[in-house]
Structure 1
Amino acid sequence: MKIKHIIIAAATATMMSSCQDFLEPESLSTFDLNYIYSNVDDARKGVNAIYSHFGQDAFRSRLSNNMTGNTDIEHSSGWSSNGDRYQIWDLEALESNRDLQIVWTYAYRAIRDANIAIEGLEASGMLESNDASTAQTMNHLLGEAYTLRAYWYSMLTYYFGDVPYMIEAPKAGLDFNLPKKNRNEILAEEINNLINLEENMLWADQLPNGIEQVNREYTLGMIARLSLQRGGYFLTPELTMERESDYLDYYQIAKDYTQKLISLKDRELNPSFRQVFMNQCTFQSPENDDILFEVPFALGNGDVGWNIGVRVDGGNTASHDYGSGNNYMAIPPTYYLSFDTLDIRRDVTCSLYKVTTEFTYEFVNGGLDIGQGKWSRHFLPTPPGKSTAKGTGINWPMMRYSDVLLMFAEAENELNGPTADAQEALKRVRRRAFDAAHWGQKVDAYVGQVSGGKDTFFEAIVDERAWEFGGEMIRKYELIRWGIYSEKMAETVEGLKELADNAFNGTTRYPDYMYWKVNENGNFTILNPNKRVVAPPDDTWTQQSFLLALHSDEFGYQEWVTKDWENYINGPQPGVVRYIFPIPTEAIANSQGTLTNDGYGF
């Protein structure tokens, strides 16, 4: 059974029985693990249990996108409701928050299933099988299990700080009420595990499921990503941002393992930035391309194109069969306007249109509800049906090769400054962003300009990662590890206020209004995406308030401008983002006194 079908099976049936792909982890204890892991087919089924948890809300809507705002490039309004997701967006989540409970529960279920697979594989004797193919497959499965476990521990430490570190399969007599372990010790151990295993793993083009399965290139990238997390800043219970004194050791690891991937399995970036995401929307998963690993949602599962992506108004009365899709994470106009006007990525990333029930295009609601343009249900090759919403089957990108290039550039710069190698990695990403005719100015000259020193090159990396990964919902983790989360939020709010003031005062050079139409070919067209114009050339254009919509006669600015990021700027500790959340009530109760919520102003 393909992994993507494992995911939907787990989501629709909660868990299958043990005799049907071993998706009920508890029932694994009724089998002899030595039997299960004595052959490749059953071992594959055992590892599949770890993937099943991607099909739960803990990942498909929470960790993949909902819980990853607010940042300088993606945001939602949390102050307007007391609902669970709103508490998280506003950094005021309670112990009783159901979304936190879901993430905590399924993270540890995935870790439990990984531990079962790891123990079974390591005790099987098949890692050293005389059959080379069997030994190779079993060693790769072990790498998959360790890599997936490392992902879930990375998320737990980002959201809860120090957490219990469970690395044994459940068995009678085992103490499950473990105390918290230092997050950096957890990350260090998980990094070392992957370092010890990656050479025994297979590349995506050697695997039956390609990039829809954890592969060696993703594991190499994860070593780097985890190392930058370990070497980055973190929030202490005293509400200060600190980093460990050995942080450069982890930047070295990040450099070494991104460089290793570049050396062993380099590939050209897909020349079309749009095509990277259209491949996902049309169910294509090319190997040796930009995406290293993507969560493989089958039709009927996955929330991409439902709660993130281009807005589509549908329903039973719609004249199209694509169903309905919303976008929970709007793009602030400061981000839209931060792009170079020639940067191809802007119009892929930022959707200024929505699809109507009449199956035509309109400007986004309110003029400023800019959507995540990389995905949409109306890109699907077959309309899923008028009444559909969830379950588009669009895969979610976990890591792209451009991320590896930029992690290498960042690590190399931190260690040695903007060397020629660091500059070339940055150039490779920017070359795809601009037509070749503009490479002299937008790539070579730009990179030369920002390479005058370590600080300016770092700032360029911060910007480039924003432009490259908008909507992919990894920005939050980057701002945390860089220690500039609150600073960037303050810059965003001040930038929005300045745009609003200039538009209201008539001094802006940016669009106070945009003018749009659907042309004779049925394409959505904007007259002035980059600049202010006094009036359109004819009456075929519709006027839409853009930056002027930031102004409020009652409040000076729209309330979301001053409130969406307020707790990120002036929270319990001004200038420090309290991004750590309390351990859920149920976990505290079940720990029999081992776990408590202390520190962080809880």
Structure 2
Amino acid sequence: MMKNIFKLFILGTGIASLTACSDFLDQTSPSEMTDETVFNSAAYTENALNKVYAGLTLDHTYGARIPLNFSTNSDIELVDGLDNTGSGNSVAVNERGAGNFNPSSSWTKLDDNWSECYEIIENANIVVEGIENSSLIAEGNSSRTKMLRYKGEALALRAMIYFDLIRNYGDVPMKFETTKSDGSNIYLPKTDRDAIMEHLITDLEEAIDYLPWAGESSYTTERITKGFAHGLLARIAMSYAGYSIRESSKAGEGYETLANSDATYPTQRPGAAKRTELYTKALTHLDAIIASGTHQLNPSIENEWYLINQQSLDQTYRENIFEVAHGLNYSGEMGYTVGVRLSGVTTTYGYGNSSGKIKLTAPFLWSFDKDDLRRDLTCATYEIKPGSSNEPVETMQSNSPFAIYVAKWDPRKMSDSWRTASKAATTKFGYGINWIVLRYADVLLMYAEALNELQGADVVGPTCGLTAREALLKVRSRSFDSSKQAAVTAYVNAISSGSDFFNALVDERAWELAGEAVRKYDLIRWGLLDSKITESKEQYMELITKAPASLYYKMKSSDANAIDMSSICWYEAPANVADYKSVTGWGGEDPTNGKNVAYLPYISWGLNRVVKNRHLLPLGATTISDSKGSLKNSYGFE
């Protein structure tokens, strides 16, 4: 069980450590010491490393900004883009503007994210250089293995931060050394992101040699392990192989341009030979994770998310390969900004204010197979409100096709300690639920994608013994009852190798990973962001001609305040409605003048408004002004 203990340690050299969630972070240190002293002690080196981990817990990094505020919109996830007047304009100076591809450089949280990310990078650089100059890494030294593990962790943490900077801002300054006393490496210009990713891949290849697997040497999945380094490298390689909008054309370097790209800022990807190299590298590292047997799918998808909500590490299957450790009452907006909405104070859940700001869409809900267990574990068409005696009542939403909450984070599944904290709260507090950076299900699906890209769906991988088809089947079969397995196998076996199999993976990754900060970046690298968002809007127009005008449902016989999810009549009205409750459904809306039809143009409305496929964020105004002319915005941002 995670302890969720946070401590602050200050070292005289400026190395501070805010520790989170695990026994390995409980450290002490003297008040003053030199860098030489720190990195010639394994204990003090770990303290310095803890400061790097601590930076991940902040709101402006992995508490909210990177996993929640920057990861929308996609074809299945969105943040409401309407301003406070309801006029349809996307608010540019908050997360709604960012989500709808209409952010302003004056949104100060961009500056906060940038500065906090580069502080983590600086702290990682300190650890890497300190270890490289330490006498403890000499051959034969008893602390050598431990010190090199710490170096591997710092290299991988730095790579993770840089990768997210690239995914959100594009080209950024490359700084893989500590700040020099003469200031000569402070005001750096942008470096092409591909050069940075090449460096990250090299760093991770080194880190893999040093790191243990989860479960070895007391390393849990709250700490960087060999499995995560393999997986992060694969993610970077597959992103590098994919499309992204560019500051200038690289067509002369063999890059391919996506159809209908912007003339000034084209969306491009590397040529075929480079893509093959990158997919091959990704496949090698994904295969290594699978072959190790360290990580497995939790056989129960429901239990997987129950444990996450309970703040409990799964030491049996280790499906979650790396989790950013958050602390109750300290950090983490998982369950607050994303999750089943608590709308009002109740006797069971206390404070009851969660925004549920990240939403899913009706076309996505209806895309699930009716027997797929993930539908109701992912999509919440209800919120929890106070009843007549302030007891919690599950209340079905009426005609809210673009406001379906993400059910993976659910207060009904949260721990007793969380409930106690919520009852005591009078304002927003840190929910303490870890952010899952990488799950084994994602590894299996990336493996299937890479192997299909290189050799087709039915060739066995390098060492793990799986074909791409078998990897897909593992993920999909977990989400269906045992009585439905024959149908699941038939579905997977009927998919043709090649493009049809790729399209099936595009769908499966949506059903499996919705709300987990994956989909937007998948669509970007595939060159499908614009077309899939457009397709989703078209699917809504089709849905209103097919969906019932009213949704009928029952409350549970054992609990009159809880919805019986199995009773919801998604596809047609019941023959006898007498025993049912109902709300206005999504069908029957006027296709020319309905309120949701009128809203469609404003979903992700900034994506092509100024520059085509402008999926990146601008640099913050303060970031630019503080750079002394070394940085400026591109892509039409001011």
TM-score scaled by structure 2? Answer: 0.85
Matches of 1:206 and 1:527 in 2, distance apart?
Answer: 42
Q: Could you say which structure has the higher helix fraction? A: 1
Q: Which residue number in structure 2 is paired with residue 100 of structure 1?
A: 110
Query: Could you tell me how far 1:34 is from its partner in structure 2?
Result: 2.2
Q: Which residue number in structure 1 is paired with residue 571 of structure 2?
A: 532
Q: Which amino acid aligns with 1:513?
A: S
The answer to whether the aligner puts 1:426 opposite 2:472 as a matched pair is yes
Q: Which amino acid aligns with 2:309?
A: C
Q: Structure 2 unaligned runs (5+)?
A: 19-28, 84-90, 248-263, 460-466
- 3-state secondary structure, aligned to 2:383: strand
Q: Which stretch of the first structure deviates more once superposed, 286-295 or 488-497?
A: 286-295
Distance 1:307 1:549, change over 3 A: farther
Query: Could you tell me how far 1:147 is from its partner in structure 2?
Result: 0.8
Matches of 1:58 and 1:168 in 2, distance apart?
Answer: 23
Alignment match of 1:378 (pick from 395, 407, 412): 412
Q: Which amino acid aligns with 1:401?
A: Y
Matches of 2:633 and 2:577 in 1, distance apart?
Answer: 62
Q: Which residue number in structure 1 is paired with residue 484 of structure 2?
A: 438
Alignment match of 1:151 (pick from 160, 163, 169): 160
Q: Deviations over 1:326-384 (max 9, x none)?
A: 21111101110111111111111111222222212111365432111111233222112
Query: Could you tell me how far 1:233 is from its partner in structure 2?
Result: 0.9
Distance 1:61 1:366, change over 3 A: farther
Contact 1:66 1:328 in 2 (8 A): no
Q: Deviations over 1:171-201 (max 9, x none)?
A: 3114211111000110111011101220220
Distance 1:454 1:54, change over 3 A: same
Distance 1:28 1:153, change over 3 A: farther
Q: Which residue number in structure 1 is paired with residue 534 of structure 2?
A: 490
Matches of 1:213 and 1:33 in 2, distance apart?
Answer: 24
Alignment match of 1:517 (pick from 533, 543, 554): 554
Matches of 2:590 and 2:136 in 1, distance apart?
Answer: 66
Alignment match of 2:525 (pick from 478, 481, 501): 481
- The total of aligned residue pairs comes to 579
Q: Which amino acid aligns with 1:39?
A: S
Q: Which amino acid aligns with 2:626?
A: N
Query: For the aligned residues, what is the CA RMSD?
Result: 2.5
Q: Which amino acid aligns with 2:530?
A: S
Percent identity reads 27
Q: Deviations over 1:213-240 (max 9, x none)?
A: 1111111110101111111111012332
Alignment match of 1:462 (pick from 506, 509, 519): 506
Alignment match of 1:242 (pick from 254, 260, 268): 268
Q: Deviations over 1:379-424 (max 9, x none)?
A: 2221123335331111111000111111111111111122241111
Query: Could you tell me how far 1:298 is from its partner in structure 2?
Result: 1.2
The answer to whether the aligner puts 1:278 opposite 2:306 as a matched pair is yes
Matches of 1:89 and 1:340 in 2, distance apart?
Answer: 28
The answer to whether the aligner puts 1:571 opposite 2:609 as a matched pair is yes
Distance 1:208 1:497, change over 3 A: same
The answer to whether the aligner puts 1:17 opposite 2:53 as a matched pair is no
Matches of 2:109 and 2:590 in 1, distance apart?
Answer: 33
Matches of 2:141 and 2:118 in 1, distance apart?
Answer: 34
Q: Deviations over 1:245-277 (max 9, x none)?
A: 212211111000001111123543111101112
Q: Which stretch of the first structure deviates more once superposed, 517-526 or 484-493?
A: 517-526
Matches of 2:637 and 2:414 in 1, distance apart?
Answer: 46
Matches of 2:92 and 2:232 in 1, distance apart?
Answer: 35
Distance 1:408 1:143, change over 3 A: same
Alignment match of 1:580 (pick from 616, 624, 638): 616
Q: Which residue number in structure 2 is paired with residue 348 of structure 1?
A: 377
Contact 1:323 1:389 in 2 (8 A): no
Q: Which residue number in structure 2 is paired with residue 505 of structure 1?
A: none
Query: Could you tell me how far 1:156 is from its partner in structure 2?
Result: 1.1
TM-score scaled by structure 1? Answer: 0.90
The answer to whether the aligner puts 1:291 opposite 2:317 as a matched pair is no
Query: Could you tell me how far 1:291 is from its partner in structure 2?
Result: 0.6
Query: Could you tell me how far 1:4 is from its partner in structure 2?
Result: 5.3
Q: Which stretch of the first structure deviates more once superposed, 459-468 or 52-61?
A: 52-61
Q: Which residue number in structure 2 is paired with residue 401 of structure 1?
A: 440
Q: Any residues of structure 2 matched to 1:539-578 within 5 Å, and which?
A: 539-548=578-587, 551=590, 554-555=593-594, 557-568=596-607, 570-573=608-611, 576-578=612-614
Distance 1:537 1:151, change over 3 A: same
Contact 1:513 1:544 in 2 (8 A): yes
Q: Which residue number in structure 2 is paired with residue 264 of structure 1?
A: 292
Alignment match of 2:333 (pick from 295, 303, 322): 303
Distance 1:20 1:32, change over 3 A: closer
Distance 1:390 1:550, change over 3 A: farther
Q: Which residue number in structure 1 is paired with residue 257 of structure 2?
A: none
The answer to whether the aligner puts 1:185 opposite 2:211 as a matched pair is no
Q: Deviations over 1:457-504 (max 9, x none)?
A: 11111111001101112111111111111010110111111112x0xx
Q: Which amino acid aligns with 1:240?
A: P
Q: Deviations over 1:541-600 (max 9, x none)?
A: 2111221386577456443322113333x4334xx4201222111121121111122344
The answer to whether the aligner puts 1:45 opposite 2:47 as a matched pair is yes
- 3-state secondary structure, aligned to 2:116: helix
The answer to whether the aligner puts 1:34 opposite 2:27 as a matched pair is no
Contact 2:40 2:136 in 1 (8 A): yes
Matches of 1:375 and 1:599 in 2, distance apart?
Answer: 35
Q: Which amino acid aligns with 2:615?
A: Y
Distance 1:261 1:571, change over 3 A: same
Q: Which residue number in structure 1 is paired with residue 630 of structure 2?
A: 594
- 3-state secondary structure, aligned to 1:202: coil
Matches of 2:14 and 2:383 in 1, distance apart?
Answer: 41
